[in-house]
Amino acid sequence: MVQHDEVGFTAFVEARGLGLLRFATAVTGDRHQAEDLLQGAFERAYGKWSRVAGRGDPERYIKQSIVNAARDSWRKQKRHPEVFGLGEGSGSYLPFDEVITRDVVRGALASLPPRQRLVLVLRYWEGMTEAETAELMRISVGTVKSQAHRAMKTLREQLALSDEPYAESAQGVGR
C-alpha cells in the first residue's frame, strides 16, 4: 500500500508540480517563498497521501495549503509581497512592449493588499468561481466580490495613470 501511495504521489508531483509552483508564485509574489510553501504543502500531503488522493482532488488540497501558509506568512510579516509572478507566454507583438506591460502590471499588482491580490489570482488566473474562491480562502462570497471590486478599481486607476507617461514618451518616438 505504501509503495502505491508513493507512486501516486510522485506521478501527481510530476504532472502538477510546475503548475502548482506557478500558482504559489502568483500567490506569494516571490519565487523562493513559493518554492518553500510548495515544498511544505507537498511534505504535508505526502504523509497522508492516501487520504488526500482519496478525496478526489489532491490539487485543491495543495492549493489550500499554499493559501493558508501564505496568509500565515503575511500575518507574521505584516507587509505586502513586492512582486507578482506572471507566467511565461507571449502576448505582445513587440518584446519591448511586453516588458513594459509586464513591469507596469507587476507594479500595480504588487501594490495591492495580499488579500485582494489573492482574490484576483484565484478568480481570474485560476478561473475559480466566487463560491470556490470564498471556500478556499475561508471567507464569504460577499467578501470575495468586494475584494475583487476594490482590487480591480485600484488596478484600473493605477494602470490608467501609468499609461500617461508612456504615451507621452511614445509620441516623441515617431517624429
Residues 84-113 pLDDT 10s: 444 444 444 445 566 667 777 778 888 889
The residue-averaged pLDDT of 46-75 equals 89
Q: Are 65 and 47 in contact (CB under 8 A)?
A: no
DSSP-derived 3-state class of residue 84: coil
CA dist 87 and 127 (Å) reads 15
Q: Are 118 and 27 in contact (CB under 8 A)?
A: yes
Task: Assess whether pLDDT exceeds 70 at residue 1.
Answer: no
pLDDT of residue 145: 96
pLDDT of residue 80: 47
The residue-averaged pLDDT of 11-32 equals 89
pLDDT of residue 81: 47
CA dist 64 and 112 (Å) reads 21
Give the DSSP letter string of 56-71.
Answer: T-HHHHHHHHHHHHHH
The residue-averaged pLDDT of 141-153 equals 95
Burial class of residue 13 (count of CB atoms within 10 Å of its CB; 0-12, 13-18, 19+): middle
The residue-averaged pLDDT of 127-132 equals 92
CA dist 175 and 138 (Å) reads 54
Name the band, by pLDDT with cuts 50, 70 and 90, for residue 159: confident
Name the band, by pLDDT with cuts 50, 70 and 90, for residue 35: very high
